[in-house]
Amino acid sequence: MSRPTVQPTDREVFFASDEVIVSKTDLKGIITYANDVFLDIAGYTEAEVLGQPHNLIRHPEMPRCVFWLLWNEVQAGREIFAYVKNMTKAGDFYWVLAHVTPSRDAGGRIVGYHSNRRTPERPAVDAVGRLYQDLLNTERRAASPKDGLAAGIAALNRHLEHAGIGYDEFVFSL
């Protein structure tokens, strides 16, 4: 399935604080499982998401450097928490606090990734939203996507260094 071009809207949608969005992917980020909460909030059917790249729900206002960090961590076998702005099939958006972990086989080898997403607190969304807008602006000013990613990573690292904390501490401080 090729994803039709979706025009982002300014409409935010929400899911209940006692709900958890769950998805699993293979090593390449292809969706192998999505729970009903995922399907309901994103507006897709199971048939539409299984076998598709997880970036199917990526919002264009998410800085690439955040996904770079996320992928580096899980591919190295570490868990990560991250605030993520996702996009529904209709172009609406929703914020999540994602916890992404590697899935391992009986021999300890990474065979995929598992993500649980919860409703984030509004003050955290406001704070991270400002940072993400700055990072996105930095990425977009670059001459190429590759240069934009590098500039975004550098800007994120400067932000963390200025705050005197690592990424995990930053996420949990919000």
pLDDT at 161: 96
Handedness of CA 125, 128, 133, 139 (dihedral sign): negative
pLDDT at 70: 95
Q: What is the DSSP letter of 13?
A: -
Q: How confident is the model at residue 6 (pLDDT cuts 50, 70, 90)?
A: confident
Tell me the mean pLDDT in the region 160-165: 94
Task: Please give the domain boundaries of the chain with CATH numbers for all domains.
Answer: 21-163 (3.30.450.20)
Phi, psi (degrees; rounded to nearest 5) at 108: 90, 0
Q: What is the DSSP letter of 53?
A: B
CA angle 117, 119, 121 (to 5 degrees): 130
Report whether pLDDT(86) > 70: yes
Q: How confident is the model at residue 5 (pLDDT cuts 50, 70, 90)?
A: confident
pLDDT at 41: 98
Which of helix, strand or coil describes residue 16? coil
Answer whether 125's CB lies under 8 Å from 83's CB: yes
- As a whole number of Å, the CA-based R_g of the chain is 16
- How does pLDDT run across 8-67, given as a tens digit for each residue? 999 999 999 999 999 999 999 999 999 999 999 999 999 999 999 999 999 999 999 999
